[in-house]
Amino acid sequence: MDVPIEYFVLLSMALFSIGLFGILTRRNALLFLMSVEIMVNAANVNLIAFAFYHGNLTGQVFALFAMALAAAEVAIGLGIVLVLYRNFRDVDVTVPTTMRW
């Protein structure tokens, strides 16, 4: 049962890197959102692992909060995707480049 903390952290980092790779390669906005979710959950893994490591419940509570905020973020993100689609007839994030200089 006692898995050393390093493995949890490595798992979390692996998740984070996978999510990051998704962000860097995907052009579909929905997949973008999913990749971000993966990264958020990587953080959650860390929170929970360290909560157990320190024997303190705060980390767990924070993980709950992070999930709630992730839900809010997804709601907004989906709204943005909708607008994106309406304006560009596409959900490719490389298309709307007009907001730069």
Partner 1 sequence: MTNRPRLRLGQSLAPGVLAVALFGAMAMIVLNTGFADEMVGFPAGISVTSEIGYALFDFTALQSAEGSIGDTEPFLAAFLLVAVVLDAALDAALVLAKRETEGEPVAALSSRTGATPGTTGSDQVAATDGSGRRRESADESAASDTAAESGGDS
Partner 2 sequence: MEGLFDYAPAIALFPLAAFVIALAFGPKLPKKGAIPGIVATGGSLLLSLAMLAAVAGGEEGYYHETLFTWAAGDAAGEIGTDAIEFTFGILIDPLAALMLVIVSLVAFLVHVFSLEYMNAEGETGLPRYYAGLGLFTFSMLAFVYADNLLMAFMFFELVGLCSFLLIGFWFRTRSAPSAAKKAFLVTRFGDYFFLIGVVAIAATFGTVQFAGEDSFVAAAAAAIDDGGQLFGFDAETWVTITGLLVLGGVIGKSAQFPLHTWLPDAMEGPTTVSALIHAATMVAAGVYLVARMFGYYALSPTALAIIAFVGGFTALFAATMGVVKDDIKQVLAYSTISQYGYMMLGLGVGGYVAGVFHLMNHAFFKALLFLGSGAVIVLMHHEQDMWKMGGLKDKAPVTYYTFLAGALALAGIVPFSGFWSKDEILYDALIVGLEQPLIMAAYAMGLIAVFFTGFYTFRMVFLTFHGEPRTETAEDPHSVGWAIKAPLLVLGVLATVAGLANLAPVAKLTGAEISFLEYWLDGEYGGLEALTYHSYHETVPFEEGAIGSETTTMLLGAGLSLGLALAGAFTAHALYNVPSPTRHTEKLGGAYDVLRSNYYQDEYQVWLAEGLTLPVARAADRFDQTVIDGAVDGVSSVSLFGGDRVKRIQSGIVTNYAALLVAGFIALLIVLGFLGGWFL
**Cα–Cα distance between 50 and 62 in angstroms, integer?**
11
Query: Taking CB under 8 A as the rule, does residue 56 contact partner 1?
Result: yes
Which position among 1, 4, 6, 24 is part of the footprint of partner 2 (CB under 8 A)? Answer: 24
Distance CA 75, CA 63 (A): 18
Find out whether 15 and 42 touch, Cβ atoms under 8 Å: yes
Q: Are 47 and 54 in contact (CB under 8 A)?
A: no
Q: Which of residues 25-54 bind partner 1 (CB under 8 A)?
A: 25-26, 28, 30-31, 52-54
From 13, 45, 88, 94, residue interacting with partner 1 (rule: CB under 8 A): 13
Question: Taking CB under 8 A as the rule, does residue 73 contact partner 1?
Answer: yes
The interface with partner 2 within residues 37-76 (CB under 8 A) comprises none
Place of tokens 């049962």: 1
In the complex with partner 2, which residue's Cβ is closer, 43 or 51? 43
Q: Which residue has the tokens 């962000």?
A: 23
- Regarding 58 and contact with partner 1 (CB under 8 A), the answer is yes
Amino acid, single-letter form, for residue 67? M
Residues lying near partner 2 in the complex (CB under 8 A) are found at 20, 23-25, 27, 32, 93-94, 96-101
